[in-house]
Structure 1
Amino acid sequence: MAAPRIVRRAEVDIGGPWPDSIPPLLRRLYAARGAGSPDLARPRLSGLLPPDAMEGMDLATSLLQAAMAEDRHIVVVGDFDCDGATACATGVRGLRLLGARRVSYAVPNRMVHGYGLSPALVEELAALQPDLLLTVDHGIACHAGIEAARAHGWQVVVTDHHLPGPRLPAADAIVNPNLPGDAFPSKALAGVGVVFYLLLALRRKLRDAGAFEGGEAPDLGALLDLVAVGTVADLVPLDANNRTLVAAGLRRLRSGQGCAGLNALIAACGREQARLTASDIGFAIGPRLNAAGRLEDMALGIECLLTDDAQRAGELATLLNGINAERRAVQQDMTDDAEAALSRAMLAETDVPLAPCLFDAEWHPGVIGLVASKMKERLHRPVLAFAPSEPGSDLLRGSARSIPGFHIRDALAAVDAANPDLVQRFGGHAMAAGLTLALANLPAFEQAWQAHAAQVLDDGLLQAEMLSDGELRPQEFDRFHAEALRDGGPWGQGFPEPLFDGLFEVLDWRVVGERHLKLTLRHPDRREPLAAIHFGGWQGQPPSTHAHLAYRLAPDDYRGGQAVQLVVEHRAQA
């Protein structure tokens, strides 16, 4: 596929006034991301949006207040990804903090129950004798499961952030900032963010009712470590409100105030707690929690997040670390299969489809989302990956990942509307979605899917771009600025980590770890050479002596002292 095109961000007025503690480089980067003032660049908890505007909040908190007053059994029903696990732990911990005495949790097993609150899960929950189910990070598409739960006489409160379909489920209350007409200003909350907001509103209702002895309400800030991890891992846009939540959660984690499970996971993945970043959550902590839901049972992950026993947390973190290693191996095998299939198509002089549909009867349904994501990055095209829901099943689970400009859930909705008998169910976001369909329907679905993609996709959307923050000044290649960039976040989806580009002379190079390139570079305006690493950069050919690089500036903690290195994201001959 064509190499990405490096596009520099337009220069904007840096606004201000800025405090001296924020260096000019960061001021420029913040302003380029739409944060032209200190309050927008580094929002504080005092500026967190209030929960009042979220539709359904008053009814939901009233139901929970009554259930707590009557000592009824509340079951928090989680989901099998990191957002769902952290949302479940947040719900359980938060309700207990607020005084609920009978709180337990349940989570579907991907291989047994399928997604969300399904009728199969409801039948198992009957043994718990719940009075009220609180769904977190799902529910907006669980019509059949909610109807089954209410047939048992249970109340159902849905908290979700996924886009609703044309018909809402028959729950007793629904809290979702993406409901039609909902006035809550931030639509980017993750599932864990929505349940945290529910707890904030419930705390106020209980305080107004005089429920707390001495009038001192519990500090729900103790849950922000979980909120930060779920928000980053779910790749929702880090608007100002989400950055507020994530930054506060990172402060707790860095200071050692996180829950025992997260502290143990940080240790298990070898990260330095005092310097933890959003990137560490996204690439290390989140995958270890996600792996439990992909290959085993997410109850392991939730138990890790709920225990206050450091020794037990360490045991569970070690187990999750091992499951994640297995997940990586399975993912690599499946990705190799996908790449081989596409290579065969190209050798046969067949064009790669505009929106590839990949299927293998031997693939694991828990890992198809990662395969779709890897292939989307490789091809810069929307990708759907399918696997049997269980070995030998004629029912397929599909996971879709998209590129900017192609709304994947809306595309599925369009195909479903034009072909109402193909897809059994679907849901998701602009960039990620899931679906279920019969194996026999896969050829017809693929034909309809490609036809829709041909109508929507054009050459402009299929050209990958890397947004660069331009060139660093010669004096900015130092430890001070590297640490300022590392600590200047949280960076993430919608508020991207700084990326720079420029021309360099390659003075020396060597291959490390079989696939990576270690480089020694010279910047045209600096005398001192620069160290660089290009992960996955070895393609079997020596690098050119002059290169155009897209890179990040990072502290080089391996060499220590004042050392820095460039982390190369893209290399082209100059």
Structure 2
Amino acid sequence: MRQSFPTQRWQIATPSPDTAKELSVSTGLLPLVAQVIINRDIATADAAHTYIEPESQDLPSPLSEFKDLAASVELIKNAIADGEQIAICGDYDADGMTSTALLLRALKHLGAKVDYAIPSRMKDGYGINERIVEEFAEQGVGLILTVDNGISAYEPIARAIELGLSVIITDHHDLPEKLPPADAILNPKMLSETSPYKGLAGVGVAYVVAIATAQSLGKIKGLTNPILELFTLGTIADLAPLVGVNRRWLKRGLRALPNSELVGIQALMEVAEINETQKQLKPDDIGFRLGPRINAVGRIGDPQMVIELLTTDDPQIALERADKCEQTNRKRRQLCEQIEQEAIALVESTPIPWKESRVLVVVSAGWHHGVIGIVASRLVERYGVPVFIGTYEEEEEEVKEKKEANKTPLMIRGSARSIDEFNVFDALNYCGDLLGKYGGHRAAGGFSFLAENLEAVKQRLREFAHKCLEVEHLKPLVKIDAEASFSQIDFELYQQLEGLQPWGIGNSPPVFWTRNVRVVEQRAIGKTAKIHLKLTLQEANSSTKIKAIAWRWAEYCPLPEYLDLAYKLQENHWQGNTSIELELVGVRLPQTPASNNISATNQPIKKPIQNNIQKAVFTHSGRIYVCSKTPKELRIRNDRGNVLAVSQGNPTGLLGKSRDEAKEVNVTQAPYFQLIKAALQAIAEDN
């Protein structure tokens, strides 16, 4: 029996009312906004000023932070002076493609002879390889710059050095035990934990190299703004932490993008229907609208299309490439929807024992390698466990042929996404002897292995998951900043929160919660299918109503009438009117329900100790129920507010909306017996 209700765990930040009041007085911020800042480890007026205005902070020179930066600048300057061919080796994700475009623009601006190569996602996999190195050598390349890759490519870099090429590695991925023998290595993972450059993505390292080289040559004029826009696009699309120099430079870049100097970005905003009259873009404009259109090409198309889009100065070419990005992204969305539904069906019909395993491993033939990582993220959101999703490297027909002919061993290739308490890279290391190629970091990774090892990999991942995960971890985590009343939600609150932008990894958007909210109206919506949930909400003991949207929650409709809600704030523009709406990210049963006054005895209810209450949400005969169980009583409430209360060992219970109007029913007879059985089963599964 599958629940039709988001099962989550809430983590509510500890309130600091006194500190919030002091910060509010000293900064002029609302106390609720001050609490949000405090939750991000900022507790003084000076720290708050730097947080809100990062340009006011003094930065150390990148030359003093990156020990190989000066050598890198000299290598590039010498190559330009000697007319030596420079080659960039990028990657096929948004970070790698924007990094490649950034250095192409910068080096051409500086007078370099420069070209690039990006490995094929399907044929080559991630990063520079010996084939690319040898092709560069044949083309007369003298200097290679890797962007967003190279730190783990020991053999290809060693081959380049053997062939007499110079190599600069610019990367941001985790450091291997043995670094490649490059002439220079620039990686923020090599910096101190306190360095403001620590969180740079690959495009950030490329930006540092470009600016330092241009300054050294005295040719910075006309370069900074265009490459700052590419830095902004790549950094947000790669989910880099929005702290340190990232936050400082992104605030500037987001202001520049609406009036972009790059015709490619102008065209991309046009197809993404982003209003160019905005004073500045928000990270969500990139994360959900521009970034996916670029990433889609790297996943299922030809990355050269994006490089041409971001380096051309011809508006017609830019619009043609942007249109192709749009078409590719539509295909990507269709593939994701199809694979997600197939994966869910596989999980729930097989069934796959993900709760017992504490990790979900799902493999099927015919899924596109380029998008299964996105599907893995959606499955993590749905099930709240680490997800390892894989498909066969061959097409479905080839899989069948190989199985029948017993030919070359089948390989499974996949992606992993995680929850906070589970380290993907450590898990892959734990399975290392069963895998072929693999890599990643704490939150995500990629891997391949022989299909015959599938059961062994599942068992090994199960062992690892049981070492680091408890049962209570197996629910999606909702992190909440503070409790708010609907009466506090207005344009002043929204504008002050907007002043804390950019939001993203490392500076998460604020999430508030409100208790005992009544769902006045709810309906599933979507252009082509009912995917999202639109609601009208009313806070208890108030006449104030507010609209809300819950993305990808249509399957949970209808939600129970009364809920505690967790949400973000968003601005809605419709027919010339602007309003503040809620974006729901979490729901739970009210901890103090609106109708909680029915007892199976004639005595008033004594509020039970919270830790002794077990709760669950379940469906039975097509309806949603919420139930709670104490050592003495079971209570089951339907979506119309009727409650069935049953004392342990008592063949009769009380049914009604309140104690005064409740009637006695025989709970040993249908339909109550089956309902009680379903409730007890749901509680056992959920607790």
| TM-score normalised by L of structure 1 | 0.90
Give the whole-Å Cα distance in 2 for the aligned partners of 1:19 and 1:182: 30
Deviations along 1:185-211, whole A, 9 cap, x unmatched? 54321111111122233334x2xxxx3
1:456 aligns to 2:468 (yes or no):
yes
The equivalent of 1:212 in structure 2 is: 218
Deviation at 1:448, TM superposition (A): 2.3
Q: Retained in 2: the 8 A contact 1:345–1:351?
A: no
The equivalent of 2:12 in structure 1 is: 8
Q: 1:62 to 1:424 in 2, by over 3 A?
A: farther
Which letter does structure 2 place at the counterpart of 1:531?
A: K
Q: Find the residue that maps to 1:44 and give its secondary structure.
A: helix
Q: 1:476 to 1:140 in 2, by over 3 A?
A: same
Q: Retained in 2: the 8 A contact 1:483–1:555?
A: no
The equivalent of 2:372 in structure 1 is: 368
The equivalent of 2:525 in structure 1 is: 512
Deviation at 1:401, TM superposition (A): 1.0
Give the whole-Å Cα distance in 1 for the aligned partners of 2:163 and 2:308: 27
Which shifted more, 534-543 or 180-189?
A: 180-189
Q: 1:182 to 1:490 in 2, by over 3 A?
A: closer
Q: Retained in 2: the 8 A contact 1:30–1:41?
A: no
The equivalent of 2:478 in structure 1 is: 466
Q: Find the residue that maps to 2:182 and give its secondary structure.
A: coil
Deviations along 1:351-395, whole A, 9 cap, x unmatched? 553222222221111112112111122121111122334534834
The equivalent of 1:58 in structure 2 is: 70
The equivalent of 2:429 in structure 1 is: 413
Give the whole-Å Cα distance in 2 for the aligned partners of 1:372 and 1:230: 22
Which shifted more, 314-323 or 522-531?
A: 522-531
Give the whole-Å Cα distance in 1 for the aligned partners of 2:144 and 2:411: 28
Give the whole-Å Cα distance in 2 for the aligned partners of 1:337 and 1:562: 39
Q: Retained in 2: the 8 A contact 1:141–1:427?
A: no
The equivalent of 1:317 in structure 2 is: 322
Q: Retained in 1: the 8 A contact 2:8–2:588?
A: no
Of the candidates 240, 247, 253, which is equivalent to residue 244 of structure 2?
A: 240
Give the whole-Å Cα distance in 1 for the aligned partners of 2:494 and 2:196: 34
The equivalent of 2:670 in structure 1 is: none
Which shifted more, 498-507 or 295-304?
A: 498-507
The equivalent of 2:538 in structure 1 is: 522
Q: Find the residue that maps to 1:364 and give its secondary structure.
A: coil
The equivalent of 1:144 in structure 2 is: 155
Deviation at 1:103, TM superposition (A): 1.5
Q: Find the residue that maps to 1:178 and give its secondary structure.
A: helix
Which letter does structure 2 place at the counterpart of 1:519?
A: L
Give the whole-Å Cα distance in 2 for the aligned partners of 1:18 and 1:86: 43
Q: Retained in 1: the 8 A contact 2:335–2:371?
A: yes
Give the whole-Å Cα distance in 2 for the aligned partners of 1:250 and 1:390: 42
Identity %: 32
Deviation at 1:403, TM superposition (A): 0.8
Give the whole-Å Cα distance in 2 for the aligned partners of 1:270 and 1:223: 23
Q: 1:247 to 1:22 in 2, by over 3 A?
A: farther
Q: Find the residue that maps to 1:430 and give its secondary structure.
A: coil
Q: Which has the higher contact order (CA 8 A, sep 6+)?
A: 1
Q: 1:507 to 1:114 in 2, by over 3 A?
A: closer
Of the candidates 82, 107, 111, which is equivalent to residue 100 of structure 1?
A: 111
Of the candidates 546, 551, 561, which is equivalent to residue 535 of structure 1?
A: 551
1:189 aligns to 2:200 (yes or no):
yes
Q: Find the residue that maps to 1:271 and give its secondary structure.
A: coil
Please show how residues 89-238 of structure 1 align to structure 2 within 5 Å.
89-97=101-109, 99-126=110-137, 128-179=139-190, 184-204=195-215, 206=216, 211-212=217-218, 219-238=223-242
Q: Retained in 1: the 8 A contact 2:391–2:412?
A: yes
Give the whole-Å Cα distance in 2 for the aligned partners of 1:173 and 1:134: 10
> Which ranges of structure 2 fall in alignment gaps of 5 or more residues?
400-409, 591-687
Q: Retained in 1: the 8 A contact 2:91–2:126?
A: yes
Q: 1:508 to 1:17 in 2, by over 3 A?
A: closer
Q: Retained in 1: the 8 A contact 2:421–2:468?
A: no
Q: Retained in 2: the 8 A contact 1:478–1:562?
A: no
RMSD of equivalent CA atoms: 2.7
Please show how residues 557-572 of structure 1 align to structure 2 within 5 Å.
557-572=573-588
Give the whole-Å Cα distance in 2 for the aligned partners of 1:317 and 1:518: 31
Deviation at 1:462, TM superposition (A): 2.8
| TM-score normalised by L of structure 2 | 0.76
Q: 1:453 to 1:473 in 2, by over 3 A?
A: closer
Q: Find the residue that maps to 1:280 and give its secondary structure.
A: helix
The equivalent of 1:30 in structure 2 is: 37
1:337 aligns to 2:313 (yes or no):
no
Give the whole-Å Cα distance in 2 for the aligned partners of 1:50 and 1:131: 29
Structure number, greater radius of gyration: 2
Deviations along 1:340-360, whole A, 9 cap, x unmatched? 2211243x8785532222222
The equivalent of 1:381 in structure 2 is: 385
Deviation at 1:73, TM superposition (A): 1.0
